[in-house]
Amino acid sequence: MAVLQTGQSFSSGDQVTATKLEDIANLATFRTGTNQTADDSTIQVDGSGGYLKVKSAGISSNELATDSVITAKIQDDAVTSDKLAHISNLNVLGNVSGSTAAPVGVEIKDEDDMVSDSATALATQQSIKAYVDTEITAVNVGGVAASFIATPTSANLQSTTEVDIFNETVSLDGTRSIHFKISYSAGGGTTNEWKLYVDNVQIDHSNLALSPGFSGVATLMASSSALGNNATIRVTNKVNSGNVTKTLVNTAKLIII
């Protein structure tokens, strides 16, 4: 089947001239339609210029052979994020297979307690911070012995009887320095008494008096405390006066060096 429609046709007995011969080529056009040069599905003839062009949305997997397009033939920055497959919320593209593989959606978990214990999922910044802030961390490296974090409730800070803020058992033989710090604010004038115990022996105490609407920091310290195996360290709190609403500013921290 001819792919061109010539610009000149002849009938039997017609005279052949130079002009007619030139018109055969100069006035030729591409055929269009089924099984022709331009099928108007994949390729079409431009209406103004008469040249061939790929029809809009004309290229599909039927027109391209397998592996016919290589990476080097894709223009830089031509593949945008909008052209990638949409993935589920809280997922990113990645590979957690342990070997070379096509990227897949990797889940991002927002779990403050890291309860899933996944070997492949990612975690949000907020959940990592929450986990570290609330979990007890004990380290036995060099001179650093242990550190603990607690988040006392308003009821703890407003108790008129002595209540534990920390009650930890540690296996740290030798002489250690113990440091405690907590920051909170008060809705009215108040005084809280803080105490530090090692094996139920009071080592230090501190009274923090606050004016209405102000915040303050309570600190306790034992610079050279002898700890035996499985020593119990307690920090307690009690309101001595002005039992008013209190709001935690920073988490309570207990550090053993």
Q: What is the pLDDT of residues 10-50, one digit of tens each?
A: 888 888 888 888 877 787 776 666 655 566 667 777 777 77
Backbone CA torsion sign across 122, 128, 134, 136? positive
Q: 146 has which bridge partners?
A: 256
Flag whether pLDDT at 211 surpasses 60: yes
Cβ proximity of 163 and 222 under 8 Å: no
Pairing of strands 190-198, 231-241: antiparallel
> Is the pTM above the cut of 0.85?
no
Q: What is the pLDDT of residues 212-238, one digit of tens each?
A: 888 888 999 888 788 877 889 999 999
Q: What is the pLDDT of residues 181-207, one digit of tens each?
A: 999 988 888 999 999 999 999 999 999
Q: Where in the chain is the domain with CATH 2.60.120.40?
A: 146-256
Report the share of the chain in percent with pLDDT over 90: 18
Cβ proximity of 257 and 141 under 8 Å: no
Q: Sheet harboring 231-241: ordered strands across? A: 163-170, 231-241, 190-198, 201-210
Model confidence at 76, in pLDDT bands (50, 70, 90)? confident
Flag whether pLDDT at 241 surpasses 50: yes
Give the separation between CA 178 and CA 198, rounded to whole angstroms. 10
Q: What is the pLDDT of residues 93-112, one digit of tens each?
A: 888 888 898 888 899 998 88
Instruction: Tell which CATH classification among 2.60.40.290, 3.30.750.210, 3.40.50.1450, 2.60.120.40 matches the domain 146-256.
Output: 2.60.120.40
Give 128-133's long-range contacts (Cβ < 8 A, gap of 24+): 133/251
Which of 118, 248, 240, 227 is closest to 185 using CA atoms? 248
